[in-house]
Amino acid sequence: MTGQVQGKVALVTGGASGIGEAVSELLAREGASVAVTDVDDLRGPAVVAGIKKAGGEAIFIHQDVTSEARWIEVVAEVEKRYGRLDILVSNAGIGISVPSITDMTLEDWRRQNAINLDGVFLSVKHCLPAMRKTGGGSIVMMSSLAGLRGAPGLSAYSATKGGVRLFAKSIAMECAAVGDGIRVNSVHPGIIDTPIWGKIPTEAAGRGQNAPIDPEERAKLATPLARAGHASEIAQGVLYLASDASSYVTGSELVIDGGMNAGGVPRRA
Ligand SMILES: NC(=O)c1ccc[n+]([C@@H]2O[C@H](COP(=O)([O-])OP(=O)(O)OC[C@H]3O[C@@H](n4cnc5c(N)ncnc54)[C@H](O)[C@@H]3O)[C@@H](O)[C@H]2O)c1
Protein backbone atom coordinates (compact mmCIF):
# COMPACT_ATOMS: atom_id res chain seq x y z
CA MET A 1 0.00 0.00 0.00
CA THR A 2 1.31 3.49 -0.83
CA GLY A 3 1.50 6.00 2.00
CA GLN A 4 0.28 9.57 1.78
CA VAL A 5 3.84 10.94 1.72
CA GLN A 6 5.51 7.91 0.13
CA GLY A 7 9.05 8.56 -1.10
CA LYS A 8 9.23 12.06 0.35
CA VAL A 9 11.93 13.31 2.71
CA ALA A 10 10.86 15.27 5.79
CA LEU A 11 12.70 17.25 8.45
CA VAL A 12 10.90 17.69 11.77
CA THR A 13 12.39 20.02 14.39
CA GLY A 14 11.64 19.30 18.03
CA GLY A 15 10.92 15.74 16.92
CA ALA A 16 11.98 14.07 20.17
CA SER A 17 8.82 14.81 22.15
CA GLY A 18 5.11 15.53 22.05
CA ILE A 19 3.72 16.86 18.78
CA GLY A 20 7.04 16.58 16.89
CA GLU A 21 7.38 12.96 17.95
CA ALA A 22 3.83 12.15 16.79
CA VAL A 23 4.42 13.99 13.50
CA SER A 24 7.70 12.14 12.88
CA GLU A 25 6.04 8.78 13.55
CA LEU A 26 3.03 9.48 11.34
CA LEU A 27 5.05 10.85 8.39
CA ALA A 28 7.32 7.77 8.58
CA ARG A 29 4.31 5.44 8.78
CA GLU A 30 2.94 7.15 5.65
CA GLY A 31 6.13 6.46 3.72
CA ALA A 32 8.43 9.45 4.28
CA SER A 33 12.07 9.25 5.33
CA VAL A 34 12.23 11.49 8.38
CA ALA A 35 15.11 13.51 9.81
CA VAL A 36 14.15 13.95 13.46
CA THR A 37 16.09 16.86 14.96
CA ASP A 38 16.17 18.03 18.56
CA VAL A 39 18.43 19.13 21.40
CA ASP A 40 17.26 16.06 23.35
CA ASP A 41 19.88 13.38 22.69
CA LEU A 42 18.07 10.82 24.83
CA ARG A 43 14.54 10.91 23.47
CA GLY A 44 15.49 11.74 19.86
CA PRO A 45 17.31 8.48 19.15
CA ALA A 46 14.54 6.59 20.98
CA VAL A 47 11.92 8.10 18.64
CA VAL A 48 14.00 7.04 15.64
CA ALA A 49 14.45 3.53 17.05
CA GLY A 50 10.67 3.26 17.46
CA ILE A 51 10.09 4.37 13.86
CA LYS A 52 12.60 1.83 12.55
CA LYS A 53 11.13 -0.93 14.68
CA ALA A 54 7.77 -0.20 13.07
CA GLY A 55 9.36 -0.56 9.61
CA GLY A 56 9.89 3.14 8.85
CA GLU A 57 12.95 5.13 7.87
CA ALA A 58 14.39 7.91 10.05
CA ILE A 59 17.59 9.42 11.40
CA PHE A 60 18.22 11.52 14.46
CA ILE A 61 20.29 14.69 14.09
CA HIS A 62 21.23 16.76 17.12
CA GLN A 63 20.18 20.35 16.46
CA ASP A 64 19.61 23.55 18.38
CA VAL A 65 17.31 25.46 16.03
CA THR A 66 18.75 28.80 17.16
CA SER A 67 22.18 28.06 15.64
CA GLU A 68 22.53 29.21 12.03
CA ALA A 69 25.83 27.34 11.61
CA ARG A 70 24.09 24.11 12.69
CA TRP A 71 21.23 24.66 10.23
CA ILE A 72 23.73 24.67 7.36
CA GLU A 73 25.20 21.38 8.58
CA VAL A 74 21.81 19.76 9.21
CA VAL A 75 20.45 20.50 5.73
CA ALA A 76 23.70 19.22 4.19
CA GLU A 77 23.42 16.04 6.26
CA VAL A 78 19.83 15.43 5.16
CA GLU A 79 20.72 15.95 1.49
CA LYS A 80 23.73 13.67 1.81
CA ARG A 81 21.72 10.93 3.47
CA TYR A 82 18.48 11.12 1.49
CA GLY A 83 19.36 13.19 -1.60
CA ARG A 84 16.49 15.65 -1.28
CA LEU A 85 14.14 17.53 1.05
CA ASP A 86 10.39 17.79 0.42
CA ILE A 87 8.76 18.54 3.77
CA LEU A 88 9.81 20.88 6.57
CA VAL A 89 7.89 20.80 9.83
CA SER A 90 9.16 23.70 11.91
CA ASN A 91 7.85 22.57 15.25
CA ALA A 92 10.44 23.08 18.01
CA GLY A 93 9.19 25.49 20.62
CA ILE A 94 9.10 26.41 24.30
CA GLY A 95 6.69 28.39 26.45
CA ILE A 96 7.88 30.86 29.08
CA SER A 97 5.14 32.03 31.39
CA VAL A 98 5.32 34.90 33.88
CA PRO A 99 2.64 36.31 36.20
CA SER A 100 2.87 39.67 34.43
CA ILE A 101 4.86 40.99 31.48
CA THR A 102 6.51 43.38 33.94
CA ASP A 103 8.12 40.30 35.56
CA MET A 104 9.68 39.09 32.33
CA THR A 105 13.42 39.49 31.99
CA LEU A 106 14.85 40.62 28.69
CA GLU A 107 16.90 37.44 28.73
CA ASP A 108 13.74 35.27 28.86
CA TRP A 109 12.02 37.40 26.20
CA ARG A 110 15.02 36.85 23.92
CA ARG A 111 15.17 33.09 24.65
CA GLN A 112 11.46 32.78 23.88
CA ASN A 113 11.96 34.59 20.59
CA ALA A 114 15.22 32.80 19.73
CA ILE A 115 13.67 29.33 19.77
CA ASN A 116 10.10 30.01 18.60
CA LEU A 117 10.77 32.72 16.01
CA ASP A 118 14.48 32.88 15.06
CA GLY A 119 14.44 29.06 14.84
CA VAL A 120 11.54 29.13 12.38
CA PHE A 121 13.16 31.89 10.31
CA LEU A 122 16.43 29.92 10.12
CA SER A 123 14.57 26.73 9.19
CA VAL A 124 12.98 28.40 6.20
CA LYS A 125 16.11 30.30 5.16
CA HIS A 126 18.17 27.12 5.02
CA CYS A 127 15.62 24.51 3.92
CA LEU A 128 13.98 26.48 1.09
CA PRO A 129 17.00 26.25 -1.28
CA ALA A 130 17.17 22.47 -0.78
CA MET A 131 13.39 22.09 -1.26
CA ARG A 132 13.42 24.21 -4.40
CA LYS A 133 15.81 21.74 -6.04
CA THR A 134 13.09 19.07 -5.88
CA GLY A 135 10.54 21.27 -7.67
CA GLY A 136 8.02 21.56 -4.85
CA GLY A 137 7.20 20.67 -1.30
CA SER A 138 5.43 21.70 1.85
CA ILE A 139 6.43 23.78 4.85
CA VAL A 140 4.35 23.45 8.00
CA MET A 141 5.00 25.88 10.85
CA MET A 142 3.76 25.08 14.35
CA SER A 143 1.99 28.14 15.68
CA SER A 144 -0.67 27.92 18.40
CA LEU A 145 -4.12 29.05 19.42
CA ALA A 146 -2.00 31.60 21.33
CA GLY A 147 -1.01 32.93 17.89
CA LEU A 148 -4.66 33.78 17.21
CA ARG A 149 -5.88 34.91 20.63
CA GLY A 150 -4.33 36.59 23.63
CA ALA A 151 -3.20 34.50 26.59
CA PRO A 152 -2.51 36.14 29.95
CA GLY A 153 0.90 35.22 31.33
CA LEU A 154 2.00 33.99 27.94
CA SER A 155 2.39 37.29 26.09
CA ALA A 156 5.93 36.60 24.89
CA TYR A 157 4.90 33.14 23.70
CA SER A 158 1.85 34.66 21.96
CA ALA A 159 4.04 37.25 20.28
CA THR A 160 6.20 34.51 18.77
CA LYS A 161 3.23 32.40 17.67
CA GLY A 162 1.46 35.39 16.11
CA GLY A 163 4.73 36.11 14.34
CA VAL A 164 4.92 32.55 13.04
CA ARG A 165 1.36 32.82 11.71
CA LEU A 166 2.09 35.83 9.50
CA PHE A 167 5.62 34.67 8.66
CA ALA A 168 4.02 31.54 7.18
CA LYS A 169 1.60 33.60 5.08
CA SER A 170 4.36 35.87 3.78
CA ILE A 171 6.62 32.95 2.86
CA ALA A 172 3.63 31.31 1.17
CA MET A 173 3.27 34.46 -0.96
CA GLU A 174 7.01 34.54 -1.74
CA CYS A 175 6.92 30.92 -2.89
CA ALA A 176 3.77 31.47 -4.94
CA ALA A 177 5.30 34.56 -6.55
CA VAL A 178 8.28 32.63 -7.85
CA GLY A 179 6.18 29.54 -8.65
CA ASP A 180 8.51 27.11 -6.90
CA GLY A 181 5.69 24.68 -6.06
CA ILE A 182 6.24 25.02 -2.32
CA ARG A 183 3.18 25.46 -0.13
CA VAL A 184 3.43 27.04 3.32
CA ASN A 185 0.86 26.81 6.11
CA SER A 186 0.60 27.18 9.87
CA VAL A 187 -0.99 24.83 12.41
CA HIS A 188 -2.70 26.16 15.54
CA PRO A 189 -3.10 23.57 18.30
CA GLY A 190 -5.25 24.31 21.34
CA ILE A 191 -4.51 22.52 24.63
CA ILE A 192 -2.62 19.36 23.73
CA ASP A 193 -1.46 16.86 26.33
CA THR A 194 2.32 16.84 25.79
CA PRO A 195 5.37 17.25 28.07
CA ILE A 196 5.50 21.01 27.28
CA TRP A 197 3.02 21.75 30.09
CA GLY A 198 5.35 20.24 32.69
CA LYS A 199 8.18 22.49 31.50
CA ILE A 200 6.31 25.76 32.04
CA PRO A 201 7.50 27.42 35.30
CA THR A 202 5.31 26.53 38.25
CA GLU A 203 4.15 30.04 39.08
CA ALA A 204 2.37 29.54 35.79
CA ALA A 205 0.24 32.32 34.42
CA GLY A 206 0.23 34.17 37.70
CA ARG A 207 -2.38 31.95 39.27
CA GLY A 208 -0.25 31.51 42.35
CA GLN A 209 -0.26 27.75 42.10
CA ASN A 210 2.80 25.64 42.63
CA ALA A 211 1.71 22.42 40.98
CA PRO A 212 2.59 21.92 37.31
CA ILE A 213 -0.21 22.82 34.90
CA ASP A 214 -2.47 19.84 34.17
CA PRO A 215 -3.56 20.21 30.51
CA GLU A 216 -6.48 17.82 30.95
CA GLU A 217 -7.88 19.80 33.86
CA ARG A 218 -7.40 23.06 31.96
CA ALA A 219 -8.98 21.74 28.77
CA LYS A 220 -12.02 20.32 30.55
CA LEU A 221 -13.04 23.84 31.54
CA ALA A 222 -11.79 25.81 28.56
CA THR A 223 -12.56 23.61 25.57
CA PRO A 224 -15.94 23.02 23.94
CA LEU A 225 -15.01 19.36 23.39
CA ALA A 226 -14.15 19.27 27.13
CA ARG A 227 -10.82 17.46 26.86
CA ALA A 228 -7.20 18.02 25.94
CA GLY A 229 -6.11 17.04 22.45
CA HIS A 230 -3.65 14.28 21.66
CA ALA A 231 -0.38 14.89 19.81
CA SER A 232 -1.57 12.35 17.23
CA GLU A 233 -4.55 14.63 16.42
CA ILE A 234 -2.15 17.46 15.52
CA ALA A 235 0.00 15.04 13.52
CA GLN A 236 -3.00 14.18 11.33
CA GLY A 237 -3.36 17.86 10.42
CA VAL A 238 0.34 18.15 9.65
CA LEU A 239 0.14 15.04 7.46
CA TYR A 240 -2.70 16.62 5.47
CA LEU A 241 -0.70 19.82 4.90
CA ALA A 242 2.48 17.89 4.09
CA SER A 243 0.80 15.59 1.57
CA ASP A 244 -0.60 16.17 -1.90
CA ALA A 245 -4.12 15.97 -0.39
CA SER A 246 -3.68 19.69 0.36
CA SER A 247 -2.31 20.60 -3.09
CA TYR A 248 -4.49 23.76 -3.34
CA VAL A 249 -3.82 24.92 0.24
CA THR A 250 -1.22 27.59 0.93
CA GLY A 251 -1.01 30.56 3.29
CA SER A 252 -3.75 29.05 5.40
CA GLU A 253 -4.04 28.32 9.11
CA LEU A 254 -5.27 24.97 10.38
CA VAL A 255 -6.83 25.30 13.83
CA ILE A 256 -6.98 22.02 15.81
CA ASP A 257 -8.30 23.04 19.20
CA GLY A 258 -11.44 21.16 20.23
CA GLY A 259 -13.49 24.24 19.30
CA MET A 260 -11.80 26.79 21.59
CA ASN A 261 -11.30 29.40 18.89
CA ALA A 262 -14.92 29.20 17.76
CA GLY A 263 -16.42 30.36 21.04
CA GLY A 264 -17.47 29.21 24.47
CA VAL A 265 -20.08 26.67 25.50
CA PRO A 266 -21.98 26.50 28.76
CA ARG A 267 -20.30 23.73 30.75
CA ARG A 268 -22.54 20.80 31.75
CA ALA A 269 -22.37 20.08 35.46
N1 LIG B 1 1.20 21.16 23.69
C2 LIG B 1 0.39 22.18 23.44
O3 LIG B 1 -0.64 22.36 24.08
C4 LIG B 1 0.72 23.13 22.30
C5 LIG B 1 -0.28 24.04 21.93
C6 LIG B 1 -0.01 24.94 20.89
C7 LIG B 1 1.21 24.92 20.26
N8 LIG B 1 2.17 24.03 20.66
C9 LIG B 1 3.45 24.08 19.96
O10 LIG B 1 3.77 22.81 19.44
C11 LIG B 1 5.20 22.69 19.36
C12 LIG B 1 5.62 21.38 20.01
O13 LIG B 1 5.27 21.44 21.37
P14 LIG B 1 5.01 20.16 22.29
O15 LIG B 1 3.77 20.40 23.03
O16 LIG B 1 5.16 18.93 21.50
O17 LIG B 1 6.22 20.34 23.33
P18 LIG B 1 7.36 19.36 23.86
O19 LIG B 1 8.04 20.10 24.93
O20 LIG B 1 6.79 18.01 24.13
O21 LIG B 1 8.33 19.22 22.58
C22 LIG B 1 9.10 20.30 22.12
C23 LIG B 1 10.43 19.75 21.63
O24 LIG B 1 11.21 20.87 21.17
C25 LIG B 1 12.54 20.65 21.60
N26 LIG B 1 13.29 21.89 21.67
C27 LIG B 1 13.22 22.88 22.61
N28 LIG B 1 14.13 23.82 22.37
C29 LIG B 1 14.80 23.45 21.24
C30 LIG B 1 15.84 24.02 20.47
N31 LIG B 1 16.42 25.18 20.84
N32 LIG B 1 16.26 23.38 19.37
C33 LIG B 1 15.70 22.19 19.00
N34 LIG B 1 14.71 21.60 19.69
C35 LIG B 1 14.26 22.23 20.79
C36 LIG B 1 12.41 19.99 22.96
O37 LIG B 1 13.61 19.32 23.33
C38 LIG B 1 11.24 19.06 22.73
O39 LIG B 1 11.67 17.79 22.31
C40 LIG B 1 5.79 23.92 20.02
O41 LIG B 1 6.14 24.86 19.03
C42 LIG B 1 4.63 24.44 20.85
O43 LIG B 1 4.71 25.83 21.07
C44 LIG B 1 1.95 23.14 21.67
Q: Which residues are catalytic?
A: 157
More confident residue, 44 or 198: 44
Measured from the CB, is residue 162 less than 6 Å from ligand 1?
Answer: no
> What is residue 210's predicted lDDT score, i.e. its pLDDT?
57
Contact 90, 13 (CB under 8 A): yes
- Output the CA 177–ligand 1 centroid distance in Å: 31
What does the pLDDT average to over 101-118? 97
pTM confidence score: 0.97
Contact 256, 237 (CB under 8 A): yes
d(CA 70, CA 78): 12
What does the pLDDT average to over 75-103? 97
Residue with CA nearest ligand 1 atom 1: 192
Q: What contacts 24+ positions apart, CB below 8 Å, involve 107-116? A: 108/156, 109/156, 112/156, 112/157, 112/159, 112/160, 113/156, 113/159, 113/160, 114/66, 115/65, 115/66, 116/157, 116/160, 116/161, 116/163, 116/164
What does the pLDDT average to over 182-203? 90
Measured from the CB, is residue 12 less than 6 Å from ligand 1?
Answer: no
- Which residues lie closer than 8 Å to 110 by C-beta, 6 or more apart? none
Q: How does strand 182-189 pair with strand 87-90?
A: unpaired
> What is residue 41's predicted lDDT score, i.e. its pLDDT?
98
Candidates 193, 235, 189; CA nearest to 29 is: 235
Measured from the CB, is residue 40 less than 6 Å from ligand 1?
Answer: yes
Residue with CA nearest ligand 1 atom 8: 144
Confidence of residue 208 (pLDDT cuts 50, 70, 90): low
Superfamily of the domain at 9-256: NAD(P)-binding Rossmann-like Domain (3.40.50.720)
Q: Does 269 have pLDDT greater than 60?
A: no
What does the pLDDT average to over 49-78? 98
d(CA 245, CA 204): 39
Residue type, 198: G
Q: Does 14 have pLDDT greater than 70?
A: yes
Q: Does 184 have pLDDT greater than 80?
A: yes
User: 12 forms bridges with which residues in the sheet?
Assistant: 36, 89
- Output the CA 182–ligand 1 centroid distance in Å: 24
More confident residue, 232 or 211: 232
Q: Mean pLDDT score of the chain, rounded to an integer? A: 95
Domain ranges of the chain: 9-256
Measured from the CB, is residue 154 less than 6 Å from ligand 1?
Answer: no
> What is residue 205's predicted lDDT score, i.e. its pLDDT?
46
For ligand 1, mutation pick of 12, 13, 17, 191 (most atoms within 8 Å of CB): 17
Confidence of residue 213 (pLDDT cuts 50, 70, 90): confident
Measured from the CB, is residue 142 less than 6 Å from ligand 1?
Answer: yes
d(CA 204, CA 206): 5
d(CA 166, CA 17): 25
d(CA 84, CA 137): 11
For ligand 1, mutation pick of 13, 19, 39, 187 (most atoms within 8 Å of CB): 19
Measured from the CB, is residue 246 less than 6 Å from ligand 1?
Answer: no
- Output the CA 119–ligand 1 centroid distance in Å: 12
Measured from the CB, is residue 196 less than 6 Å from ligand 1?
Answer: yes
- Tens-place pLDDT, residues 27-57: 999 999 999 999 999 999 999 999 999 999 9
- Tens-place pLDDT, residues 128-180: 999 999 999 999 999 999 999 998 999 999 999 999 999 999 999 999 999 99
Q: Does 4 have pLDDT greater than 90?
A: yes
Q: Does 202 have pLDDT greater than 80?
A: no
- Output the CA 175–ligand 1 centroid distance in Å: 26
